[in-house]
Chain A
Amino acid sequence: MEKILQVNDLHISFDIHAGEVQAVRGVTFDLYKGETLAIVGESGSGKSVTSKALMRLLPTPPSRIKQGEILFEGKDLTKLSEKDMQSIRGAKISMIFQDPMTSLNPTMTIGKQIMEAILKHQKLSKEEARKRAIELLQLVGIKNAELRMKQYPHQFSGGMRQRVVIAIALACNPKILIADEPTTALDVTIQAQILELMKDIQKKLGMSIIFITHDLGVVANMADRVAVMYAGKIVEIGTVDEIFYNPKHPYTWGLLASMPSLDHKDTELYSIPGSPPDLLNPPKGDAFAPRNPYALKIDYELEPPMFQVSDTHYAATWLLHEKAPKVEPPAIVRERMKRFADIVARKGGKPRG
């Protein structure tokens, strides 16, 4: 598969008066053409900072890309001038945000806002842009597009607004769409509609999606591959089947086990004790160690490297080291693992990539 974006060893820090907050501490991943990569993690894990860095949307100062590169179409985005970046942002890589109310201008009609995105990047006449805007509204499933063009954001419901935001993001046929919690503010039935819409459009236009969320249900629904972030690092990455049915990192175990499953009503929920580390002073060794019931001595001393599980599956935990003791994951996770072999076999011996 064709790599469309490569992120190598990205480090991002924020300089605040108390010191340096190391929000992203060495993130590496590839994005393939036409796939959906989900990035999951808790608030403060660095998932939004990573995605904003791809768009160069972080204000400098206080933020600073300390090291690493973001390769897109042969260029390193971390080194582009703001002017060059403007020809990529919104045109080749675009983004949709969590709150559809604050990402639209309340004083401009919907039509004008979509046309603005088109006229900014494409040499079209106003009339052509208007036609294109109507097409886009129809593409995202808004009826009476001609009439809706003249309306203001407050005349749209939350779900409809998010459709408009998606239409603006798609205005220039981007290669990559970054969606930062696009459905978190919506009701479940509306969320289901928006997710279906995104999958549908992806099929039609063939773009790649980076989907940032903390909702594992949404991940299972949308993703081809999943990256799990914790304390500014990717701790596990693999295909959606590998992450949900054959997870290797204790943090991924904790996330999966802390979701109530349908048939474990009377048992107590598995919960990850404690809270995430302070990235002003990241701990020595594995940042997850203090919350990890499976932590080994070495976790407090040395950060684990990425161990390879399969061609597509990597996890940063010492438990995968050949000398590590064998441990039992939580019961809910063990049950998921039982299904993995079945699923792999059914797919012809190869997990979905």
Chain B
Amino acid sequence: MTHPTPRDEPPLTYLDHAASTPVRPEVRAAMAPCATEIFGHASGSHRQARAARTALEDAREQLAALLGAEPREVVFTSGGTESDNLAVFGVLGAARRARGKEGGPTIAISSAVEHSAVLEPCRVAAQRLEDVEHRAIGVDASGAIDLDELAAMLRAEGAKVALVSVMLANNEVGTVQPLADVAELVGRLAPHAALHTDAVQAAPWLDLAAAASGADLVSISAHKLGGPKGAGALVVRGDRRLDAIVVGGGQERERRAGTHDVAGAVGLATALAASAACRDEEAVRVGALRDRLADGICSTVPDVLETAGRKGVLPGHCHLCFTGVDREELVVLLDASGVCVSGGAACASGALEPSHVLAAMGVAREAARGAIRFSLGHTTTAADVDRALAVVPEAVGRLRA
């Protein structure tokens, strides 16, 4: 069945970089040899295997340096979700076994606004593993974790806490979390707990070597950085015991089995390197575009809430709540004009689910109903912002009429 040619489609205005972002040309170039010359199984013993292994280890070292870690602390995975799963199940499984029959629950603490790739493993671990509990810490109106509530929880539970997971920046609204403060509290009040941070959304914008230095485990994902989908990594500092979830051939020091995705690893490292090389300039450039977009919309459209404010938010994020509008409808209208944005997380069927992040932030239901995330990235231009500003106010007006 042939695809009929689409009618004249409006130009693409892609403003969903937080979901995924185009692969950088240098990443494609770096990955290309993996399909042709460097195709061996990296675990093998011959020349072809060595070539693959070398490429893999080059990528690992490059990544480690950018992340402020040792090469042996980098575990390659299939992406951010797997990294988060490995962190949560890995730490909790090992902790539970170590605790043994000693009694008392094993506790995982996370913020209430974590990505489902952290919240779901916490929930499932609590369900599947005996005597494991998950506690969620609230956030303030800007989406930042409530440090007092966290401190109180740590004091109350102390040695029972095996894992604390707080994302470095929130994917929906872009709030940067006070991870250094969290690390200080955990170090002081629950020193045996592992601190994990999901740095998937923050990686393009923050120097993780500095910003995530206090975390014991750090998740990143290639495709948020201009790398390929299907590749990510988990930094596991020190000699921490982790229960692997993918077991088999023992690769990645028994932490993650499976034939290495050398292309993916190369793509991930190259993407992070490319992103890091111009990080500061990009933060300024994209931040300015974001400001123009947000200011433009807020000045022409009444009843709009800048959900997380502007301070302490990633430079590419512009999350707005249009009161009196259904976000599903706004996404469809904008899509018809070529503007690609996100109305929120989707469930298995693709339908939008109510946002646990906005609920935790105390955003009113009427406002949350009209929540749209615009997210800018490395390929966003002034023309994108111009087109968005030409389309958004009219679309909103139409739905409110």
Q: Do A and B come from one complex?
A: no
Residue positions of A touching B, CB distance < 8 A? none
Residue positions of B touching A, CB distance < 8 A? none
